[in-house]
Amino acid sequence: MKKSIVVSTSSTKFSALAFKEDLAENIKKVADLGFDGVELAVRDPKYLEVEKIINLMKECNLEVPAIGTGQAYGEEGLSFSDPNEIIRKMAVERINDQIMFASNFDAQVIIGLIRGKINESVSQAEAEEWTIDCLRKCAELAKEYNIRLTLEPVNRYESNFINTIVEGIEFIQRVGVTNLGLLIDTFHMNIEEVSIEDSIIQAKDYITHVHFADSNRWAPGCGHLDFKKIIKTLKKIDYQGYVSAEILPLPNPDAAARITAETLNKI
Amino acid sequence: MKKSIVVSTSSTKFSALAFKEDLAENIKKVADLGFDGVELAVRDPKYLEVEKIINLMKECNLEVPAIGTGQAYGEEGLSFSDPNEIIRKMAVERINDQIMFASNFDAQVIIGLIRGKINESVSQAEAEEWTIDCLRKCAELAKEYNIRLTLEPVNRYESNFINTIVEGIEFIQRVGVTNLGLLIDTFHMNIEEVSIEDSIIQAKDYITHVHFADSNRWAPGCGHLDFKKIIKTLKKIDYQGYVSAEILPLPNPDAAARITAETLNKI
C-alpha cells in the first residue's frame, strides 16, 4: 500500500489540507517524509504552471494518485446537483479540465463535494438525475484520456446525498460507467458507517482510492480510529492503491504531515 | 444509572428525537419500555399544558431529568452569541421560561444549540463574552428555582465554539457559577474527542447529564461505539445521573426506542 498526503496548489478556505502554501517547498517536504505520492487539491487547473508541477514531481520521485476537486464547490459554488443548468455545465467543464490535468500523472479525479447539496426546492430524484448526467459526461471524456473518476461518500453535514458507502456503491451502479470507482474516507466513515471494517469488505470491488484521517480529522494517530485494523482490512481485500492523508493542518501543517508518516510507518 | 429518552413536546424539524407526535401516547410507550425518565425537548414552554404534562409523568411514574432547548435556535434563530442584542435578550427570556417550566420536575435545563454559532462578522472573544453574559443571567434565575443548567459541547458542524469536552469545562470555569454543569453526548464525542473514555474521566467533576447516541446518531447498538466501555467509565467516576437517548427516529421512532431499551438493558 502506497501512501500520499493532500497538498493544495493554492491557498484555500477548505481546511482539511496539510501544507497549504508554497507548493515546491511543501512537495519536497512530503518527499523527505517518505511519502510515495502527493494528492493535489486543485481549484482550477487553468491557473497552474503544469510543466513546473510535472517536473517537480519527477525531481522528487513522487506520484500523483488523485486530484481533489472540492474547492470549485467550496469557493465558487459549482455543483453537479445545482438546479441551475449553467452551474452544472460549469461544474462539468471544471471537472473536464481536471481530467486533462490529471492525465499528466495518470491520477484519478475525485468526485466529492463537487456533487453539491440537494437544494430544498427540488426533489432528491431530480437532483440525483442531474448528478448522474454530469458524471456520465465527465466519465466519457475521462475514458478518452484513460482516467478514472472516484466518487467519495461524505458525512451528512457536508452533503445531503451519497453519505454512506452503500449509497456510494448504489450511485456508481446507477451511473453505469466502467471508469467510476469509490473513494472511502475514514473520517466520514467514522460518522456514517455501522462498522468501518464491514463496509470496506462490502465495497471491495469498488474501492479505487482511500482517504485517511482520524476521527477528529487530525493526522492518523491523533484520534480514536484503529488504523491497524483498517489497514489489515484493506490488505484482506487486496487493496493495491494509495492511502492518502486528507487531514486538518493541526497542530500545524508540518507536525500533521510528520505524525501521519510516523503513524503509517509504525503500522 | 437511570435511563431516559428524548421526546419532543411538539413536531419539529430537528431530527435527533424519537417519538415526535402525540405526547401522551409516546410517554406511555416510554414507560412501557422500562425507561426511568423522559427528557423533554421544548420549543417554547408558554404553549404547553403544563399541568397535563405533570400529571402524565406522575401517572407513568417517570421523571424528567432534563429539558432540551435547541429548537428555539433551530426554528427561531434565538441565540446567546448573536450580534443582535435583542436576539440575545429573547434567547435569555426563552431559557428563563424553560427554567420555570423545569422547576416543575427538578429537571436540568440544557444549554446546547441555544448558544448559536459565532457570526463571521464578530470576534470569537466578543461572541463568547455575550454567551457568558447570557449564561450568568440565566444561572441567576435558575438559582432562585434551585435548577441546574447543563452545557453541551456539540460537534464542529453544529456550532463553531465549545465543541470538545475540554472547551466545555473551560467555558464553565469562565462563567463561574455554581449551578452550571456539563452535558456529554457520545455522538458528538465520537467526532471531537481523542478518546471518549479519557474525556469522561477528565470531566468527572463537571458531568451532570449524559446523552447517548451511537456513532451514526441511531440508537445505541446501531453504530460502532462501545457502550459497555462507556458505561464502565461512567461507573468508574461514580456518575449517578441519567443517560438519555437523543437519537434519530430511525428506522422508525418505535424501533429506535425499543433498540435503545434493549441495548441498555443488556449492558
CA dist., res. B156 & res. A7, Å (int): 23
C-alpha pair distances (Å), B84 with each of A177, B113, B157: 52, 17, 22
Alpha-helical regions (H) of chain A:
23-32, 50-60, 71-76, 85-102, 124-144, 165-175, 186-192, 196-202, 227-236, 253-266
Residue B14's pLDDT is 52
Q: Is A59 a catalytic residue?
A: no
CA dist., res. A80 & res. A91, Å (int): 6
Which cell numbers hold the place of B93?
A: 427570556
Locate the chain B residue with the closest alpha carbon to A186: B191
Q: What is the ipTM of this complex?
A: 0.94
Contacts of B222 in chain A (CB under 8 A): 194
Q: For residue B14, what are the contacts with CB-CB under 8 A and spacing of at least 6?
A: B8, B41, B70, B71, B74, B75
The reply to whether residue A191 touches residue B224, judged by beta carbons under 8 angstroms, is no
Contacts of A216 in chain B (CB under 8 A): 191-194
SS3 state at A115? helix
pLDDT per residue as tens digits for the range A134-164: 999 999 999 999 999 999 999 999 999 999 9
The secondary structure of B106-126 as a DSSP string is T-EEEESGGG----TTS-HHH
E strand or H helix at B131: helix B124-144
pLDDT interval class at B151 (50, 70, 90): very high
Number of CB pairs, chain A paired with chain B, less than 8 A apart: 34
Instruction: Identify the DSSP state of B207.
Output: E
- Smallest CA–CA separation between A253 and chain B, in Å? 19
- Smallest CA–CA separation between B3 and chain A, in Å? 23
- Smallest CA–CA separation between A12 and chain B, in Å? 17
The reply to whether residue A216 touches residue B223, judged by beta carbons under 8 angstroms, is no
**Active-site entry in A39, A152, A192, A193:** A152
A1 CB-contact burial (10 Å; exposed 0-12 / middle 13-18 / buried 19+): middle
Contacts of A251 in chain B (CB under 8 A): none
Question: pLDDT tens digits, chain A, 267 residues: what are they?
Answer: 999 999 988 776 554 455 555 888 889 999 999 999 999 999 999 999 999 999 999 999 999 999 999 999 999 999 999 999 999 999 999 999 999 999 999 999 999 999 999 999 999 999 999 999 999 999 999 999 999 999 999 999 999 999 999 999 999 999 999 999 999 999 999 999 999 999 999 999 999 999 999 999 999 999 999 999 999 999 999 999 999 999 999 998 899 999 999 999 998
**Active-site entry in B63, B128, B152, B192:** B152
Tell which B residues from 132 to 171 touch A, by Cβ distance under 8 Å: 157-158
Alpha-helical regions (H) of A145-208:
165-175, 186-192, 196-202
Contact (CB, 8 A) for B56 and B27? yes
- Smallest CA–CA separation between B195 and chain A, in Å? 6
Phi/psi of residue A8, each to 5°?
-90, 140
pLDDT per residue as tens digits for the range A10-30: 776 554 455 555 888 889 999
pLDDT exceeds cutoff 90 at B131:
yes
- Closest CB to A224: pick one of B157, B194, B216: B194
CA dist., res. A71 & res. B17, Å (int): 34
- Closest CB to B194: pick one of A191, A193, A222: A222
- Closest CB to A194: pick one of B192, B194, B224: B224
Say what the alpha-carbon torsion angle A250, A252, A255, A261 is, to the nearest 10 degrees: 50
Q: Which of A120, A163, A188, A215 to mutate to test the interface with B (most CBs of B within 10 A)?
A: A215
Within 10 Å of residue A14's Cβ, how many Cβ atoms? 18
pLDDT interval class at B84 (50, 70, 90): very high
pLDDT per residue as tens digits for the range B20-54: 558 888 899 999 999 999 999 999 999 999 999 99
Tell which B residues from 166 to 195 touch A, by Cβ distance under 8 Å: 190-195
The label of the residue with cell 466513515 reads A189
Q: Is A152 a catalytic residue?
A: yes
Contacts of B191 in chain A (CB under 8 A): 190-191, 215-216
Specify the pTM: 0.95
The reply to whether residue A191 touches residue B190, judged by beta carbons under 8 angstroms, is yes
Q: Which of A106, A36, A23 is nearest to A67 (CA)?
A: A106
Intra-chain end-to-end CA distance of chain B, in Å: 11
